[in-house]
Every structure is written in structure tokens, then in C-alpha cells.
């Protein structure tokens, strides 16, 4: 297996997995909080928040990348703060690629978690309350376990989306070998070089396999949760 890919290609795969893994870890708490607000909250401006959360899904990724540059670049307010306070640089760094992937995956994750939260039967939460569980325990022992398949699906979907992220990453974090050159960027780079069709094909096949695996896992999780819910109807 190791012989199938060159060291540079392995580096690309490992970097892609690292960037995507960090991206969904950043996203998880944020996506859960947003999904909760959108599923359960009642507040003015909810429609607007919903729209803002979904923006990265419909904006041209290059626009998202440019906005990230404005906010998180060395001269952007957030970027300046992160660099001065934590020494955390984002531009031209894999951390920047992870941030771009996180922003692009966020809407998908919020959607998946929100759906699973909306499917949780609130009447079961009422039952837990009458049995002596306070709001937090009700959340931990009833709401969260019932929404868990959706949360897992969100992680897988977000991961797959991050693996494929291209436009915002190349705009914001650039295309630096070993640092921000993830799978799609490596494929794009190889395409620019005449005679490297074999490299393109190998990287493309890896992309397809990773995405396929993610979709199968996510679909299985969703279906399992559906079965469980159908099983308890009444």
C-alpha cells in the first residue's frame, strides 16, 4: 500500500486528514450550539442567524476565502488578536487551511445536528423531568443520546466536506506543499504539470474512496437512528 504513493503524496493525504480532523473538532461545539439555538430557540433574528450560518454553503468559496483574509489575515482584527495573544498564525499555515475547511463544513454540520435535535421527542424530555431529572440531566441522559446518531453523521459529513475543500483554502491559506496543500490542491497542482496524469488519477481515486466511505458511514448512522425512532412510535 505504502508503495502505491510517493512520499509527497503520502504527505498530502496525511495533511488532508489532519486539516479535516481539526476542522470538525473546531466545528463540533460551535455547530451543536448553533443547531440547538435554531432547533429550540425562540428569539428575534432567528431567520437571519439561520441564513448567516448557511452562507458558506451558497457563497462562491473564493468569496468566503477573501472574507476570511479580511477577518483572520495578519492585519484583520481577529487574525491580529490570535497572533498577538496566542502566537497562532493562520495565513500560509495548515491551521488556516483547517479554519477555511471548518467554515465551509459548518453549515452541513449545523443542518445534520439540527435535524436530529428536532427529531428528539420532547415528550420524552417531559417524562424525564417528572422522574426527577433536572434540565441538564435530561439533556445528558435523554436528548443527547437520542440525537447522537445525527451528531455522528454531522461529524462524518463535515469531515468529507473538509477533505474536499478547495476554493476558500487556496484563497485564504494558499497552496504550500506540506503546509496547506491538501488533496484537492495537490490534484489541482498536478493538473498544471504536463505528463502527470497518473498522479492526478491516484489522488483522485483516494478522494473518491474517502468520500464514499464517509457517505456510507453517515447514511448508516442516519438510518440506524431512524429505525430506533420508528421502533418507539407509541
Partner 1 sequence: MPFDVDIALQRGSAHIAARFRVGPGLTALFGTSGAGKTSVLNAVAGLIRPQSGRIAVGGDILYDGAARLHLAPEKRACGYVFQDSRLFPHKNVRDNLLFGWKLAPAARRWMALEEASEFLGIAHLLKRMPRTLSGGEMQRVAIGRALLSGPRFLLMDEPLSSLDEERRGGVMQVIERIRDELALPILYVSHDRREVDRLADHVVTLGPDGARVTPGIRTSDGPAARRAALRPVPSTPHSP
42 part of the interface to partner 1, by CB under 8 A: no
31 in contact with partner 1 (CB under 8 A)? no
Burial of residue 96 (number of CB atoms within 10 Å: 0-12, 13-18, 19+):
buried
**Considering the rule CB under 8 A, would residue 128 count as an interface residue with partner 1?**
yes
Q: How far is the CB of 120 from partner 1 (least distance, A)?
A: 10
Kindly indicate which of the ranges 9-17, 79-87, 92-100, 223-231 contains the residues binding partner 1, using the contact rule CB under 8 A.
Answer: 223-231
Q: What is the C-alpha to C-alpha distance for residues 82 and 213, in angstroms, rounded to an integer? A: 35
Which set of grid coordinates corresponds to residue 38? 435554531
Q: Which of 52, 126, 196, 205 binds partner 1 (CB under 8 A)?
A: 126
Residues shown for the chain: 234
Q: Is the dihedral of CA 104, 188, 17, 116 positive or negative?
A: positive
- Please count the residues of this chain forming the interface with partner 1, following the rule CB under 8 A: 22
State which of residues 18, 93, 129, 202 lies at the interface with partner 1 (CB under 8 A).
129
Nearest distance from C-beta of residue 231 to partner 1, angstroms: 3
Q: Does position 2 bind partner 1 by CB under 8 A?
A: no
Cβ 225 to partner 1, closest distance in Å?
10
CA neighbours closer than 13 Å in the CB half-sphere of residue 50:
14
CB nearer partner 1, residue 80 or residue 137: 137
Burial class (CB in 10 A: 0-12, 13-18, 19+), 129: middle
Nearer to partner 1, 1 or 233 (CB): 233
Q: To the nearest 10°, the Cα dihedral for 15, 20, 25, 29?
A: 150
| CB-based contacts of 43, cutoff 8 Å, min separation 6 | 37
Binding site for partner 1 (CB under 8 A): 121, 123-124, 126-134, 137, 141-142, 145-146, 228-229, 231-232, 234
Amino acid at each position: 500500500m505504502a508503495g502505491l504513493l510517493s512520499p509527497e503524496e503520502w504527505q498530502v493525504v496525511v495533511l488532508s486528514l489532519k486539516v479535516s480532523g481539526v476542522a470538525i473538532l473546531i466545528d463540533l461545539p460551535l455547530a451543536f450550539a448553533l443547531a440547538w439555538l435554531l432547533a429550540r430557540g425562540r428569539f428575534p433574528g432567528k431567520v437571519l442567524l439561520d441564513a448567516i450560518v448557511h452562507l458558506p454553503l451558497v457563497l462562491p468559496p473564493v468569496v468566503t476565502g477573501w472574507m476570511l483574509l479580511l477577518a483572520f489575515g495578519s492585519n484583520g482584527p481577529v487574525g491580529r488578536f490570535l497572533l498577538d495573544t496566542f502566537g497562532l498564525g493562520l495565513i500560509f499555515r495548515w491551521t488556516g487551511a483547517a479554519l477555511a475547511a471548518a467554515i465551509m463544513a459548518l453549515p452541513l454540520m449545523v443542518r445534520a445536528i439540527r435535524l436530529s435535535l428536532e427529531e428528539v421527542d420532547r415528550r420524552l424530555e417531559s417524562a424525564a423531568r417528572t422522574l426527577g431529572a433536572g434540565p441538564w440531566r435530561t439533556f445528558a441522559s435523554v436528548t443527547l443520546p437520542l440525537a447522537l446518531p445525527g451528531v455522528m453523521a454531522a461529524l462524518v459529513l463535515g469531515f468529507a466536506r473538509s477533505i474536499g475543500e478547495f476554493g476558500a483554502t487556496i484563497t485564504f491559506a494558499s497552496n504550500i506543499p506540506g503546509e496547506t496543500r491538501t488533496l484537492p490542491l495537490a490534484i489541482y497542482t498536478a493538473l498544471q504539470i504536463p505528463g502527470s496524469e497518473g498522479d492526478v488519477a491516484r489522488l483522485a481515486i483516494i478522494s473518491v474512496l474517502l468520500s464514499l466511505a464517509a457517505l456510507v458511514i453517515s447514511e448508516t448512522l442516519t438510518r440506524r437512528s431512524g429505525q430506533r425512532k420508528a421502533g418507539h412510535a407509541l
